[in-house]
Structure 1
Amino acid sequence: MENVTNTQPTFVYDGDCSFCTSCAQFIERRIPTRATVIPWQFADLGALGLTVEQCEAAVQWVGLDGTTAAGPDAIALLLRDAGRFWSLAGGTLGLSPVRAAAWPAYQWVADHRHLMPGGTAACAVPQNRRPAPATES
C-alpha cells in the first residue's frame, strides 16, 4: 500500500454508476464529512495511491496520511470522519462481527447495483468493457 499525504480525506466512487452517484449525492447532502467525495473517473488516482482496479472493485477512502480502505471499511472511515451520530455508526461498522457481515452484504450490493434504485445497465458492465465515449470530429 502506498501512502500519499493529502490535505483532506478523499472518498472515491464509480461515477459511471447511477446507484453509486446517488449514494455519493446522499453523502454530500447529509453526512458532514471533511472528505472530498469524487468519482474515480475524475480523480488523480496516482496521487491518491489508487488503481482503476481498486476503484472498480469497491469505493475507496484515502485518509490524510494516505492510508487507504475499501468497501465497508471505507464507508466506516467516512462515517467516523463525520462526527457525532455518524461516528458511532462508523465505529459500529468497524467492529469485527459487524465488519464480517458487512463485506458480503457490500459485495452483494456491488454485484447487483444495476438492480438498485437509480441503477442502470451500465452499472453492471466493468469499466474495461464499457464503450469508449464518442468524440467529436
Structure 2
Amino acid sequence: MGQIKPVLIFDGDCGFCTTTANLIREKSSTPIEIHPWQFIDVTKYGLTQAQTMDKVFVVEGVKTFGGHRAFAKILLLQKNPLLKLAGALIMYTPIAWLARPGYRLVAKYRHKLPGGTPACKIEPR
C-alpha cells in the first residue's frame, strides 16, 4: 500500500500564492499534492471554505497545519536536514511567536509581493 502524499491547499486566485505553490511543487524533495482551494472539495480534508480563504493549509493524513505551521510542515517534509531544522524551529515556541505574526503580515500584504495582484488582497476578519 502506497504512502499518501501530503496536500497543500492554497488560494488559487492569488498570483503570489500560486507562484509560491508552483515553487514548492518544483523544488520539494518530497512529493506534495498541491491544489487551489477553489478547485477541490475542501471538506474532504476536514476544512471549510472560510478557513481556506483565510490561510494556506497542509494536510497530512488526519493532521492539518495552517498558516505558519503549514510552511513549517513543508520544510519538515524535505530531505535536507537544514530545512527540517528550520521547519522544527518555526513549529515550536518561541520561534512560533514570531512566525505566526510574520505569516499574517505576509498574508496581509501578499498583493504587494512579487507575483501579487489586486486579486491577492484579503480583507481582515
For normalisation by structure 2, the TM-score amounts to: 0.88
| Aligned residue in 2 for 1:113 | 110
Q: Deviations over 1:45-104 (max 9, x none)?
A: 11111111111111001112x211100101111111122232122112112111110111
Structure showing greater radius of gyration is 1
**Which segments of 5 or more consecutive residues in structure 1 lack a partner in the other structure?**
1-5, 127-137
| Aligned residue in 2 for 1:70 | 66
- Give the aligned length: 120
Shift of 1:125: 4.7
DSSP 3-state at the match of 1:79 = helix
| Aligned residue in 2 for 1:10 | 7
Matched, 1:39 2:36: yes
Q: Work out whether residues 58 and 66 of structure 2, in 8 Å CA contact, stay in contact via their aligned partners in 1.
A: yes
Letter paired with 2:20: C
Question: Equivalents in 1 of 2:41, 2:75: separation in Å?
Answer: 23
Superposed CA RMSD: 1.6
Letter paired with 2:69: D
Question: Equivalents in 2 of 1:37, 1:120: separation in Å?
Answer: 21
Q: Deviations over 1:96-136 (max 9, x none)?
A: 1111101111101101111111100011156xxxxxxxxxx
DSSP 3-state at the match of 1:119 = coil
**Which segments of 5 or more consecutive residues in structure 2 lack a partner in the other structure?**
none
Once the two structures are overlaid, the 10-residue window that deviates more, 38-47 or 17-26, is 38-47
For normalisation by structure 1, the TM-score amounts to: 0.81
Q: Give the ranges of 4+ consecutive aligned residues of structure 1 lying more than 3 Å apart after TM superposition.
A: none
Q: Deviations over 1:13-70 (max 9, x none)?
A: 1010000001111111112233211111112211111111111111001112x21110
Please, which of 52, 59, 63 is the counterpart of residue 49 of structure 2? 52
